[in-house]
Structure 1
């Protein structure tokens, strides 16, 4: 999908000709992405399609071999990962990245310390960071963890750990959140609450997700980009991509599997 200069302002994040080569292998090859501001956009594809590499390129965990990345009108192609995070492009990971032995409240407070420039002041007294507690408790309440604020992250269920990770991501006040497999490994009982949480977190911001659970994608996402072998296969609504013969072939199944 391409955008003209006239409508580029409608998009929070765009990539043009995005390519990443490892030796002679192109993990991502000439991919164009346009993520409309305020939308929930999914990046899907079979295993090995290049989805995670694409995420790593967009968040500057990897440097592209070629291509351009524009975030809110600014060329971020050559910026570092920490720089784009400060600008408001924040990624959560497939494996929960919380501190296991800190409480839920402490985990969110650490993220808030980073946001407010206090990330290297862990030696300070608890009184010094107490003003952050109120905001941390607000975020925990927002993700349904108010009653678990004093529990260690390691004592939370898997679904609640993912909710905590979303809370720590929200603490960074992102304009665009990139969520890598937010429902991976979850039982059915946890998927719906996390899906509702993502939908609520999308209010006032843009979300790009990699997600294998296509039933989640079908109900959550406004638009879907499909990758195959590192290249753009198609893009559209769930109805459009799920009925696309090339997508059906890529997933090696029938329409019922999409």
Structure 2
């Protein structure tokens, strides 16, 4: 398989400097199609900055980013979203006083190019209900379609966020700390959900919970001080003494 076919997202020499501080240092990332790929590393390793570069919230100082073989280094955030690169918080459920169904319907409006046309007739919007309910069912929220988001648990809010992301028909989903702040039950729920929605698409995720990473991820890239420390499957990276030192502060 050619690189273009095998890899959905690649970076070459990706670098971001802030007034002399190098936050991302010559990162060469190769994300294989239809895999779940994790970026991990201690606090300050540069994971979120890499995500911000990939989704064009930041422009790189140097380097190149390609998606499906196309150079997107200079593309705008909205442009790459239209290509199918969707970061979860870009279209998260930001309307706490709306129901779960209404939140997904807003995301579907964006996909249809009728963003935020709240003045459209109820009949027009109701045409989106069937697809909205399919998406809610896909993330296990079918019983919560009419529940106001503010009244939902944190784990269910994150599941709804994934549903609104799926409404944009992503080819590549970027999930930033999807289980952050969750108890064990919600972590298990979201882990199962990520595995389910990964079918037929690619997921790149930043995640601190190594239990989640070990369960879900095909490939793991470990960052330290903005640079790639090592890469491989969980067994490979977890056995690397440099990874243990980076996390624990001493060699194991």
The residue number in structure 2 matching 1:27 is 23
CA contact (8 A) 1:242 1:255 kept: no
Alpha-carbon deviation of 1:248? 0.8
2:196 to 186, 200, 209: 200
Give me the whole-angstrom Cα distance separating, in 2, the residues matched to 1:11 and 1:122: 39
Query: Normalising by structure 2, what TM-score?
Result: 0.96
| 1:1-258 alignment runs, 5 A limit | 6-93=2-89, 97-252=93-248
CA contact (8 A) 1:18 1:68 kept: yes
CA contact (8 A) 1:88 1:173 kept: yes
1:135-159 per-position Cα deviation (integer Å, ceiling 9, x unaligned):
0000001101111001111110000
Give me the whole-angstrom Cα distance separating, in 2, the residues matched to 1:97 and 1:24: 37
CA contact (8 A) 1:143 1:163 kept: yes
Give me the whole-angstrom Cα distance separating, in 2, the residues matched to 1:135 and 1:91: 21
Give me the whole-angstrom Cα distance separating, in 2, the residues matched to 1:69 and 1:77: 5
Give me the whole-angstrom Cα distance separating, in 2, the residues matched to 1:6 and 1:181: 31
CA contact (8 A) 2:242 2:251 kept: no
| Structure 2: segments with no counterpart, 5+ residues | none
Give me the whole-angstrom Cα distance separating, in 2, the residues matched to 1:6 and 1:214: 31
Give me the whole-angstrom Cα distance separating, in 1, the residues matched to 2:93 and 2:46: 22
Aligned residues: 252
CA contact (8 A) 1:93 1:181 kept: no
1:34-90 per-position Cα deviation (integer Å, ceiling 9, x unaligned):
000000000000000000000000011111111100001111110110100010000
Give me the whole-angstrom Cα distance separating, in 2, the residues matched to 1:213 and 1:122: 39
Alpha-carbon deviation of 1:99? 1.2
Query: Normalising by structure 1, what TM-score?
Result: 0.94
Change (3 A) 1:244 1:128: same
What SS is found at the alignment partner of 1:251?
Answer: helix
What SS is found at the alignment partner of 2:128?
Answer: helix
Change (3 A) 1:100 1:245: same
- Compute the RMSD of aligned alpha carbons: 1.8
Change (3 A) 1:254 1:198: farther
Alpha-carbon deviation of 1:255? 9.3
